Amino acid sequence: MKIAFYGRYSSDSQRDTSIEDQRRVVQRWAEQHGHEIAATFSDSAISGANIRLLTGLQTALAAACTRPAPFDAISVDQLSRMSRDVGDTDAIVKRLRFFGIRVVAVSDGLDTGDETTKISVTVKSLVNELYLDDLRKTTKRGLDGQFLKGYSTGGRTYGYRSEPVYEASSRTDPRGNPIPVGYRLTIVLEEAAVVRQVFERFRDGRGEKTIAKHLNACFTGRIWRPNTIYLMLQNPKYVGRLYFNRREWRKNPETGRKVYRWRVPEKCEFVMMEALRIIDDETWEAVQRRIRSRRHLFSHRRTATSHLLSGLLLCDHCGFENWYSICLIGSRPCAPPLRSAHRKVLSSLTLRPAVIW
């Protein structure tokens, strides 16, 4: 029987040899049963919570659904390598069964070609999903403890950097290097000056687009966008207020993507750290008042506006593709500076009738 091997490891902290180890297990099983590995597929450093992101698995499934199929079964070390979602696992097994392709989980002792394993496959996939749930709770509990100790819980905020904190009794890694007990946020003075400039300019009446254009002209190596400015102006971390557990991530069952939902205030945690303050209270309150005063000017739901040339223009200098060539209107740093062109002018040039000689 010809089989296809699929391997996956889910974390950057793991090594590529993890897939080689999985393949060795499947290879040994195949040799014992007289099977041949006809194809190899893999995904590296990708979680099994969303199969839509597993390009290697999607390629294997597409090959299995062709006629004639290049192999008779897809073999994995463990069923969890294929997916950790019970619904996705069931959908994969049903799809492959329709095309006559078996799924063999060597270490789990499961083979979907045997009808008696249907309950075992369902139970095993449920256990795999519960493992993710337990891991999520354990990780959150650990991050909660780090937050209450004043340590960073992850994420990158402009104006700050995280520095490792060591203790005398810290554990060491296999090479003898000390393992930090946490990471503490500190202010980056150069970036803090830019943050103050952003708040002061907005307080004085300038908009996000104007501020972004000014920063792009003054600083290189980073692209400033209006939405970035808008989010910065509402970040309470700049006044020393740190929050934890404000958002809850949920998986959209239709798209497989994760979306966040705001938690009720009672479930959020909050600490005040004056050492991390960059913006004074007076400037902060002035900025928040101006943001609140403008909300009636905008719709509650942002919608993308499409035009005649949406997605068709391409900057000839930097290759940036956008709706109406941002490089042309000067809000994207592109040297040498290009001339400005209004959208109506570009549309009229496109619609101008051709002259027939």
Beta pairing, strands 258-262 & 321-322 = unpaired
Domain co-membership, 262 together with 328: no
Domain boundary among 129, 151, 178: 129
Q: What pTM was estimated for this model as a whole? A: 0.67
Domain co-membership, 55 together with 102: yes
In a domain, 169, yes or no: no
**Overall domain count for the chain:** 3
Strands across the sheet containing 2-9: 36-44, 2-9, 73-76, 102-105, 110-111
Regarding predicted confidence, which is higher, 47 or 286?
A: 286
In a domain, 118, yes or no: yes
Q: Which residues pair with 165 in a beta bridge?
A: 182
Per-residue pLDDT tens over the stretch 306-335: 666 665 665 555 544 443 444 444 444 444
Domain co-membership, 37 together with 86: yes
Q: Which amino acid makes up residue 13?
A: S
Domain co-membership, 125 together with 10: yes
Can you give the CATH number for the domain in which 268 is found? 3.90.1750.20
Domain co-membership, 6 together with 97: yes
pLDDT for 341: 60
pLDDT for 244: 93
Domain co-membership, 27 together with 101: yes
The token pair that represents 298 in the structure block: 């905008």
Domain co-membership, 287 together with 317: no
In a domain, 115, yes or no: yes
Domain co-membership, 278 together with 318: no
Can you give the CATH number for the domain in which 80 is found? 3.40.50.1390
Domain co-membership, 337 together with 276: no
Domain co-membership, 279 together with 327: no
pLDDT for 27: 96
Per-residue pLDDT tens over the stretch 78-125: 999 999 999 999 999 999 999 999 999 999 999 999 988 999 999 999
Segment among 8-17, 25-34, 346-355 with least mean pLDDT:
346-355
Per-residue pLDDT tens over the stretch 243-285: 999 888 888 887 778 888 989 888 899 899 999 999 999 999 9
Domain co-membership, 324 together with 293: no
Whether 15 has a pLDDT exceeding 70, the answer reads no
In a domain, 236, yes or no: yes
Q: Which residues pair with 103 in a beta bridge?
A: 74
In a domain, 355, yes or no: no
Domain co-membership, 274 together with 343: no
In a domain, 184, yes or no: no
SS3 letters across 126-195: HHHHHHHHHHHHHHHHHHHHHHHCCCCCCCCCCCEEEEEECCCCCCECCCCCECCCEEEEEECHHHHHHH
pLDDT for 219: 85
Range of 323's domain?
313-347
Domain boundary among 111, 129, 147: 129
In a domain, 149, yes or no: no
In a domain, 274, yes or no: yes
pLDDT averaged over every residue in the chain? 85
Q: How many CA atoms lie within 13 A of 85 on its CB side?
A: 15
